[in-house]
Homo-oligomer: A and B are copies of this chain.
Amino acid sequence: QSSVTLFGIVDANLRYTKASGQTLKQLGTDGLNSSRLGVRGTEDLGGGLKAGFWLEAALNPDTGTADATRFWGRRASVSLLGDFGEVRLGRGKTSTRLHIDDFDPYSTTGLGDVSKVYSVLGSGSDTLNRSDNMVQYFLPTNLGGFYGSVDVAAGEGASGKKMMGGRAGYKQGPLNAAVAYETTTGLANDKYKQFSVGAAYDFGVVRPSFNYSENKFRAAKQTIYTIAATAPLGQGQILASYTDSKANTAAEAISGVGDAKLLAVGYVYNVSKRTALYTTAAQIKNNKLGRFAVAGSPTVVNGAKSSGFDVGVRHSF
């Protein structure tokens, strides 16, 4: 009687990482997509109106752990959908994160995850990725390619949680272009601000993409350029990205923050629609006091490199 879908992903790999002279051999996870288990469903309310819910939990197949802090931390929401679009209440990705995912061939996951060189610049922002207590509004999908969303999150008296943001974009045929903006009330009620603009064009043989992000808190500022490309090859595709993240002097005064370059390249082989084999090689090259690191890296000392290589399998259900 119940129209519920149980879905998920289990992604595990053999991973080798290296930083500052230390190496680590791991059974790693989440090389291509984040492992998860979810339950979702919609109900037709008549008159074009729908209600829906979505619960999605992170999990680590290497150790069997779940998210100890927020079990349903990937997404927990209830929605009303109609001709007007979607109103969604709960926890989930912010509009800015949805934007950055779209223009990162690694969708902010695995060794190539571009968000590894993004910093909250000491603001205490808890919304770099997802946000609690959100009301989100999404435009309907029939606006001739225009899409967009607006987020408002209640702070509920805690620092780093009160957030407003949104994105606006145009996706038609081979083109996708968008801007996103977000501001979160952090330390001492000062605002952490993220601005992003990105574009991608699918030429068929290759889909180059570009993104520029600015992160600001007080005088500190990061400017982050990413150029990337995906290209179909055989029964799969090549993924490559290059990111140049620059910190101004005020940002460099924050522990762990500095200039950094991230280079990632990999190949995904689709065994079937649900199962893929993949490999990724990535390196973050820090400058000065930067200590940015790839997923699963040993501890990085100031200004050192962090690199990793993995071969894995991703199974969706």
Copies of this chain, tallied across the complex: 3
Asked whether, in the complex, the Cβ of A39 is within 8 Å of the Cβ of B6, the reply is yes
Given A10-B76, A59-B72, A62-B91: A271 touches B45 (CB 8 Å cut-off): yes
Contact across chains for B132 and A62 when beta carbons are under 8 A apart: yes
Mark A59-83 against chain B: 1 for CB-CB distance below 8 A, else 0: 1111111101111111111101000
A32-74 contact mask (Cβ, 8 Å, vs B): 1 or 0: 0000010101010110010111010001111111101111111
By a CB distance below 8 angstroms, the chain B residues around A156 are 24-27
Majority secondary structure of chain A interface residues (helix, strand, loop or mixed): strand
Complex alpha-carbon distance, A76 and B175, angstroms: 39
Of A27, A68, A153, A271, most buried by chain B (CB within 10 Å of CB) is A27
The answer, yes or no, to whether A2 is at the interface (CB within 8 Å) is yes
**B4 to A4, Cβ gap below 8 A?**
no
Specify which of B59, B90, B271, B313 is in contact with A55 (CB 8 Å cutoff): B59
Contacting residues, chain B, for A46 (C-beta < 8 A): 272
Q: B75 to A64, Cβ gap below 8 A? A: yes
**What chain B residues lie within 8 Å of A229 (beta carbons)?**
none
Say whether A14 contacts B135, CB under 8 Å: yes
**Bound CA–CA A290/B45 (angstroms):** 44
Contact B3–A317 (Cβ < 8 Å): yes
- A78 vs B9: C-alpha distance when bound (angstroms): 9
Question: Is A5 in the interface zone, CB < 8 Å from B?
Answer: yes
Q: Which of A11, A66, A69, A73 has the most CB of B within 10 A?
A: A66
Give the distance in Å from the alpha carbon of A10 to the alpha carbon of B55 in the complex. Answer: 9
| Sample of 10 A–B contacts (CB below 8 Å) | A3-B317, A4-B317, A8-B55, A10-B76, A11-B78, A37-B55, A41-B317, A49-B271, A51-B275, A68-B68
- With A10-B90, A63-B132 already in contact, 15 other A-B pairs whose C-beta atoms are closer than 8 Å: A2-B7, A4-B7, A8-B55, A11-B78, A27-B89, A27-B90, A27-B153, A52-B315, A55-B61, A59-B71, A60-B76, A61-B78, A62-B76, A65-B70, A66-B72
Report A's interface with B, CB cutoff 8 A.
Answer: 1-8, 10-14, 24-27, 37, 39, 41, 43, 45-46, 49, 51-53, 55, 59-66, 68-78, 80, 89-91, 132-135, 153-154, 156-157, 271-272, 274-275, 312-313, 315, 317
